[in-house]
Amino acid sequence: MSRGPGVFDESWHRVRSCRVRLLPGIQLVRQRYRGQDWYVVRDRMGHRFFRIRPAAYDFLSFLQTEVDVEAAWERSLRVNPESSPGQGEAVQLLSQLYQAGLLRSDKASNVQSLAEVHQEERSKERRQQWSSLLFLRIPLWNPDPFLRRTIWLFRGCFTRLGMLLWVITLGWGILTLGKNWGQFQDVARSILGWANLPWLYLSLILTKALHEFGHAYACRRYGGEVPRMGIMLLIFNPLPYMDASSSYAFQEKHRRVIVGVAGMMTELFVAALAIVFWANSGDGIANRVAYNVAITASVSTLLFNLNPLLRFDGYHILCDILETPNLQSRSQRTVVHWLEKYLFRVPPSPMPAETRGEAGLFGAYFICSWIYRIFLMAGILLFVSKQFLILGVLLSLVFAVMWGLVPLCKWGKYLFTSPKLMNRRLRSILVASALLGGVGSLLFLVPIPYHFRSGGVVRCEVFENVYATSGGTVAQILVSSGTMVEPGMPLVRLENLELLEEQRLLLIEEQRTELRIQRERAEQATGVEAVEAYLVALDKRLDDMEWQLESLVVKAKSAGRWIAPDLEEKRGVRVPRGFSLGHVQGEDSYKFSAVISQRDVDRVFAGDSPRGNVRLHGQAGSEIVLSQVDAIPAEQSALPSAALGVLGGGSVGVDSTETSGQRSTEPFFELRGSLDLPEVVKAEHGQRGTARFDLPPKPLGMQWLHRLRQLLQKEYQL
């Protein structure tokens, strides 16, 4: 893919006649990316690094021999007409080198010309620093002498034996976590409690310090310098950092990757040890600190450091693995090139990509990184504002300025003042306005399908739990599980010798009482009435005994399929009264009970009953129509099934102190509908599923605003 040279630049007249040279001692390190040469300009004294292409390297080489900057640039243009840097790129390169103190000149006027350009670059740098207000770095100490003296302690970590030890420890920690996962989740519920916040912050500082030392020792192991250690204000939160940027100049790719992953490997190693200690220690301060270390050393590493969409470790590792340096800046320049070429129809800026595939990679990275930043911003604001509302509001204003107002002002300045759009300014403004209007119309005027999802359970209209009415031993299974039964059909026969013996004794007692009544009547005694009352009580006991003996033959009360998969294991085993032997399930009609959260209930009762489709767990490939949907207009707290609560594998929060696991922590509403089951789909009573309810179409922007209002109402009562 051709890269046009981008010849003209408005600042060129300030530097064209300068005669400048690189300072002695500047090191140029060659690196290979995808079979192409790149060069790193390395300042060993100031620890500054600039990665440049071979054409820029040639331009710097020509500066050493030519009369002035313009002569060196013209020679570069003659040698490499297709890939030589344009005037703007040359001005930017010279400004950066001058800012780093890497240029010298025999005339002060030359330096003065560069200083003017330098002032412009400094203003840009200050604007960038303000845009990075939440990620400020404050250097405090030079740790390199300390690292030199102690590197021998950790050389073994960068060997195969050290890697094997790391893998074993990590596996040990994962196995321990798996065995104690339930308890680990229970403790996590109080991780943000006020009592735990000091330990959480202490653990965060400890793990981040170990993370930075991991980078530093890896860099020092391969000969790099670590000149600065200090504090990084990450969202106004002070955390330690070390400058291991000298690894950029390593020629070997694997060494740069090792330096990049060393911090994360250190954290994961510490997290594994902390989990093992936490699982095998009793309650106390050490146990609590170990748990917090395990959380901070694993979650932050996986969500932030390993993520290549943020300029942390994962980003630099991805650049080295893909052999694509400066991925973020090149992706931004790619998007600008596309906008200028295809949208504004002006001579575009140089395309940083060499191939179409690389251009597609840059475009995809630009889009994904911006989307992730928006979600990250929203997540940070939500998390902070829940704990500290005023700080959350201040952060909202800062984010609105950084990622809203500032980019908008930049684009406005570009549209109204950029020399590139001089002859096409009106057209460019109209095109940009049309683009914004089209996006706005798509978001707020064009209706799109609108729906929401909810979990629920299958309910058979005919469902009967079959219990042992009388306790006894399972003697005979009269009907095997899976058989269709009719009402009154015997299912199981129990035996209870104690009941039979008790019945025999009652019969004997009844005969004795009748003889006693006859004797009392013959003697005309006064106690006949009491004995007759006793006989009546005996008759009632015999009737109850007869009922219990008849109940030993358990019968079906409804027609359906007899389901008792575990009953064979109970043969010959004594079961108590009330023991569940199985159930009879009808197969003609099924209902689906869906639990609707309060945030969705307004959409249910605002209009007609919504249409729905259900996908059952285990049969997600089949979509079942949900008809005759009825909404129950009253909030409830008892779930239709414990399977819908978090303790039963569902998503609804439940009261952990309530033994049944069916009482929700927040009130909910219920939707019930009939399932129209296809022949190929089988449903079971109590089977979980997910219902999708279709609502009238609504523009996407209005859907987002609705969700935002619900969030503000739920979290902040606004």
Residue type, 450: Y
Rounded distance between C-alpha atoms, residue 682 and residue 178, angstroms: 34
Helices and strands of the chain, counted as H and E runs? 21, 22
DSSP-assigned letter for residue 152: G
Rounded distance between C-alpha atoms, residue 695 and residue 453, angstroms: 11
Q: 12-130 adopts what CATH topology?
A: Outer Surface Protein A; domain 3 (3.90.930)
Residue type, 627: S
Q: What is the DSSP string of 568-607?
A: GGGTT-EE-TT-EEEEEE-SS-EEEEEEE-HHHHHHHHSS
Phi, then psi, of 697 in degrees rounded to 5: -55, 150
Burial state string for 671-703 with b = 16 or more CB within 10 A and e = fewer than 16: bbbbbebeeeeebebbbbbbbbbebeeebebeb
CA distances (Å), 621 to each of 326, 453, 675, in order? 44, 17, 16
Rounded distance between C-alpha atoms, residue 557 and residue 555, angstroms: 6
Confidence (pLDDT) at 228: 83
The SS3 of residue 211 is: helix
Rounded distance between C-alpha atoms, residue 581 and residue 459, angstroms: 19
Domain boundaries in the chain?
A: 12-130, 135-323, 365-447, 453-459+589-716, 467-579
- Quick one: average pLDDT of 599-628? 73
Picking from 34-48, 108-122, 243-257, 567-581, which range would have the lowest pLDDT averaged per residue?
Answer: 108-122
Rounded distance between C-alpha atoms, residue 400 and residue 422, angstroms: 30
At 150, is the pLDDT very low, low, confident or very high (cuts 50, 70, 90)?
A: very high
Position with higher pLDDT, 541 vs 65: 541
- Over 90: is that where the pLDDT of 167 sits? yes
Nearest to 97 by CA among 35, 23, 15, 10: 23
Token pair in block for residue 156: 């073994």
In a 10 Å sphere around its CB, with 0-12 CB exposed, 13-18 middle and 19+ buried, how is residue 626 labelled? buried
Confidence (pLDDT) at 455: 81
Rounded distance between C-alpha atoms, residue 132 and residue 235, angstroms: 10
- Over 60: is that where the pLDDT of 601 sits? yes
Sign of CA dihedral 522, 523, 526, 528: negative
CA 551, 557, 563, 567: dihedral to nearest 10 degrees? Answer: 0
At 161, is the pLDDT very low, low, confident or very high (cuts 50, 70, 90)?
A: very high
In a 13 Å sphere around the CA of 527, the CA atoms on its Cβ side amount to 8
Nearest to 344 by CA among 436, 416, 439, 430: 430
Q: Is the Cβ–Cβ distance between 420 and 663 less than 8 Å? A: no
- Residue 6, C-beta contacts closer than 8 angstroms, at least 6 positions apart: 86, 87, 88, 89, 347, 349, 350
Confidence (pLDDT) at 1: 38
Token pair in block for residue 214: 């991991």
Instruction: State the Cα angle at 157 between 156 and 162, rounded to 5°.
Output: 90
In a 10 Å sphere around its CB, with 0-12 CB exposed, 13-18 middle and 19+ buried, how is residue 21 labelled? middle
- Over 60: is that where the pLDDT of 123 sits? no
**Superfamily for domain range 453-459+589-716:** Efflux pump adaptor protein, beta barrel domain (2.40.30.170)
Confidence (pLDDT) at 169: 94
Position with higher pLDDT, 331 vs 244: 331
The SS3 of residue 445 is: coil
Sign of CA dihedral 372, 391, 289, 263: positive
Confidence (pLDDT) at 2: 38
Percent share of the chain, pLDDT over 70? 85
Q: Is the Cβ–Cβ distance between 677 and 683 less than 8 Å? A: yes
The SS3 of residue 48 is: strand
Instruction: List alpha helices for 465-527, DSSP H.
Output: 497-522
Instruction: State the Cα angle at 195 between 191 and 196, rounded to 5°.
Output: 35
Rounded distance between C-alpha atoms, residue 188 and residue 177, angstroms: 13
Mean pLDDT of the chain: 79
Nearest to 606 by CA among 676, 701, 706, 674: 706
At 4, is the pLDDT very low, low, confident or very high (cuts 50, 70, 90)?
A: very low
Nearest to 689 by CA among 605, 609, 591, 611: 591
Q: Is the Cβ–Cβ distance between 141 and 229 less than 8 Å? A: yes
Sign of CA dihedral 298, 301, 306, 307: positive
Give me the long-range contacts of 365-373 (CB less than 8 A, separation at least 24): 365/309, 365/327, 365/328, 365/331, 366/331, 366/332, 366/334, 366/335, 368/309, 369/309, 369/310, 369/328, 369/331, 372/307, 372/309, 372/310, 373/309, 373/310, 373/403
Task: Please count the residues of the chain.
Answer: 718
Picking from 51-65, 282-296, 313-327, 360-374, which range would have the lowest pLDDT averaged per residue?
Answer: 51-65
- Over 70: is that where the pLDDT of 132 sits? no
